[in-house]
Structure 1
Amino acid sequence: MELLSIQNVVNGDNMAYFLIIGATLIIILSYMFSIISQKTAVPSVILLILLGFFSKKIFNIGIEDVNWVFPLEILGIVGLMLIVLEGALDLKLSRERWPMIWKSGLIALVALFVNVFIFTFGIQLIIGNLDFLTAFIYAIPLSIISSAIVIPSVNQLEEEKKEFLIYESTLSDIFGLILFYAVVNNVHTTEATTIGINVVANLAGTLVLSVVVGYFMIIFFQRINTQVKLFLFISVLLLLYAVGKVFHLSSLLIILVFGLILENRHIFFFGPIKKFLRENQVTQVLNDFKLLTAESAFVVRTFFFFVFGLSITIAGIFHTSVMLGSLVFLVLIFVVRWGLFKLIVKKNFMPEVFIAPRGLISVLLYFAIPEEFVINDFNTGILLFIILGTSITMAWSLVHYKLGKGGRMKKLAEVRSSFLKGHKTEETDSENEDKE
């Protein structure tokens, strides 16, 4: 019996209603996946990818029926901005947190470069007769940790571990984007000094612009008195992000810095500029803004990973060279992380060492590779294998951390403590009754 074909059910007269039904069901299921994730520690994004993949099979949606690149790119751009903003609004800055911040940034930077060079030589071995620059460009998307997967997946971890992973994944996104566009925009530049100056100027200029925009936006934010303003605010941020990308700036840095300034405004508004901060007005709307950002990120993330699941074709994964090469890449990713965590963090780095998923940012950069570097010999199964492999490893580590030996011992200790406390209370009550 053939699978139900969606084309046989949907026609021009009821297309709009079926799209509404489908969209609402996806959101409802995504909400259920979030609950499942809280109970089991299995990341909801993996369930969304599986939902998209099996929906394609059930409704017989052919990969040739739709061009998935454009909707994935739009959803990815908006989703990445909202997810980084959501993460930044949860980050606290303080002197005590500084060691955690620089350690997470150092791990993100070193791991990125080490993985890029490993993947570059690996891709050259798999494909053969491939120049170093092209392999290098293809290696960058595979080397960046996806904050879009990390941020919604680590809510159940302790605050310190959660903040570490948010910083690391966000900075990995930023460093990866800087590296990718530094290479792509300077492919015809032969002098390393010129490339270095361009990168430093871009980063410094974006950082200065980010701070100025952050202050201006907060002052502007607190002076709007109309009821409808939160989506206006997100729209302005998205506009700045998109315009920055058009001019090859590190736009993600603008979003991160703005979120940090807004959440830690008591640090940034000091001395003479403190008079420009209206704490009461900001506090009144900040909670609503955080809620709107989280809800918007949830919806966009839901549809991105669902559509990504629709676009998946697993045939390319089962090529021997793809499987062996991708497995070696996966092992090396976590060997490098283990070494860096052992050297820099030194202790108590479980499950962080296994939380390095590839995802949204990898897909975005893969589609952004300039046409002159696109090669037909690169099997997208490598990208898919790395995304699924790192995500499954992350899911395993979170589940093991929550329900593994340490988790069971912790639960046992809590039960034992509760039992002893209850037993002692019963003994005390019994003694009081005897006295009476």
Structure 2
Amino acid sequence: MKHCQSFFLILIFVLLGSTSALAQKNKIDQLEAQRLEIKNQIKQINNLLFKNKSKQKNQTSLIEDLNYKLGVRRNLIKVTNQQANLITREINSNQKQITALREELVILKENYAKTIQTAYKNKKSQNRVMFLLSSSNFRQAYKRLEYMNQYSKYQKQQGENIKEKALELQSLNLKLGQQKTDKDKLVAENKEVQKALEVDMKQHKTVMTAIKKDLKKYNAQIKAKQRAAREIDKEIDRIIKEAIVSSNKKAGKPTTTKTSKTFALTPEAKLLAADFLSNKGKLIWPVEKGLVKVKYGVQRHPTDASLTINSNGVRIATEENALVRAVFNGEVLKIIVQKRGNPTVLIKHGNYITAYHNLKKVSVKPGDKVVTRQEIGEVFTTSEGETLLWFSLYKNDKSVNPAEWVYKM
């Protein structure tokens, strides 16, 4: 009974050890995928935000871009450190395993040597025959023959065990060597990232010093941008409310507090809305290449901590002359053209609306049916080389976070 309990305890430890090793391997693989994604993000940041050095950005835009870049670099360092630490744990675990295997191999070889010596002494066939003939009865002779066969099998099994352990040891040594190489590579890469981070931090400090010298001027610029953003948000809000009232009138529904906030949908529009909802988290990006420079919601302004950004959508930095695409099938609800500012396209998808603001060109008109990936315009680029698409998403008259709807935003 005790032997059975010991066996099951060993089996449990082995299973737990292999499960833990597998979980650790999966975690390392996840971190590696994350690290490569962040490296690609840094590449995009350099291409989209810092490529055109001939055009001098204004200080507030530059500090926003630098803040973004610093955050991503710090994240890369953090993920790489986590990965290196996990590999270190694996290295330590494998080194312990190698030590245990070597000790086990020594014992196996010693035991095998003893069996070989014993076998050599009893090698002569006459000794084997005499051993059998000296049996007192047939049963004992049979048992002795069975013993000799089992002993021979045991010898062979010992030899196989030694081969297996030697191969396992060789495999672990190779794995250990690769892990050490991987770790050294990660440490070296992290040093390079740390150097780049220090360069960016110096530039960030220089720009912030310049801004603080004339903070009133820059705050005035920031507040002017925020007023423009509020104006477009207010206009989108007005158009959506008008569209809701219109849809309810067409459906013959009386205007109440409840109906004034939700679209009355035709059967076709209901199907479109359900289809749009089923694609939550899978919608395409409104531009082919881009990164989110300003997230959805209330956030602290990167230039002045006393100011906040209240974003009803996301601001996507993209390349110059970038084409804007409809993220899903729908109908163009309205083209907003303001005196101060660039055009905005609103597309209706049942009771969902997507808004594409800061366009240079518009290639659709109200009432047009559009399909996923259809070109609807081109993003505006400032004289300083900044190309930003403001993208918002609404359910009825309430804005929602586009990052929850667009794939890997």
TM-score class normalised by the smaller sequence: under 0.3
| Structure whose alpha-carbon radius of gyration is higher | 2
Q: Which has the higher contact order (CA 8 A, sep 6+)?
A: 1
Judging by fraction of residues, say which structure has more helix.
1
Judging by fraction of residues, say which structure has more strand.
2
Scaled by the length of structure 2, what TM-score is found? 0.20
Scaled by the length of structure 1, what TM-score is found? 0.19
